[in-house]
């Protein structure tokens, strides 16, 4: 009887471990698919690798700026909560938010320019179409953040419904 329960417990443990590993692998694949769009026309394997390296080089810099932006916005929200908040402090935080967003857009623009210069003509045209679909520089959601699920208020990292 004891061996039977041991076998059941062992089977349940193995099933749970397999489920956890399966979920982890699925999430890695799903995130990588969201992170890297499908290849552009005319791109061979080495060009796709070049684009992937460029993107991998850009992401840590954008992630750092996103963290700075989130911290600054949190500071602004903390200021909103304070009774009789200092307007000069708010202006300073708003200016910092603007500077960070400008840096993010500058990095995204420079990345897009470098990428455009390295692509074959048909891929260049498709990239332009993709950028226009996303709003391109100047759109408040450009460059888009990677989707890591809903934020603290039920919205995605790119705003409501994003």
pLDDT in tens, 96-154: 999 999 999 999 889 888 888 888 888 788 878 877 887 665 555 555 544 444 444 44
- What is this structure's pTM? 0.57
Claim to verify: residue 139 and residue 64 sit in the same structural domain: yes
Residue 157 falls inside a structural domain? no
Q: Could you tell me the CATH number of the domain that includes residue 78?
A: 1.20.120.1490
18: domain range? 1-35
User: What pLDDT is attached to residue 95?
Assistant: 94
Give the Cβ contact number of residue 51 at 10 Å. 20
Claim to verify: residue 16 and residue 48 sit in the same structural domain: no
Residue 157, Ramachandran bin (φ over 0: left; ψ between -120 and 50: alpha; else beta): alpha
Tokens found for residue 25: 């692998």
Claim to verify: residue 21 and residue 75 sit in the same structural domain: no
Q: Give the closest residue to 116 by CA, choosing from 129, 101, 135.
A: 129
Counting the structural domains of the chain, the total is 2
Residue 156 falls inside a structural domain? no
């Amino acid at each position: 009887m004891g061996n039977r329960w041991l076998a059941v417990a062992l089977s349940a443990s193995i099933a749970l471990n397999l489920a956890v590993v399966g979920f982890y692998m699925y999430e890695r694949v799903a995130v990588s698919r969201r992170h890297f769009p499908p290849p552009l026309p005319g791109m061979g394997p080495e060009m796709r690798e070049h684009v992937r390296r460029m993107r991998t080089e850009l992401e840590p810099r954008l992630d750092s700026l996103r963290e700075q932006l989130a911290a600054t916005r949190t500071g602004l929200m903390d200021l909103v909560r304070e009774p009789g908040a200092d307007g000069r402090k708010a202006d300073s935080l708003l200016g910092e938010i603007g500077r960070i967003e400008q840096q993010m857009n500058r990095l995204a623009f420079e990345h897009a320019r470098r990428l455009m210069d390295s692509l074959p003509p048909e891929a260049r045209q498709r990239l332009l179409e993709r950028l226009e679909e996303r709003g391109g520089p100047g759109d408040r959601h450009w460059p888009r953040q990677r989707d890591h699920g809903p934020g603290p208020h039920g919205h995605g990292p790119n705003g409501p419904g994003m």
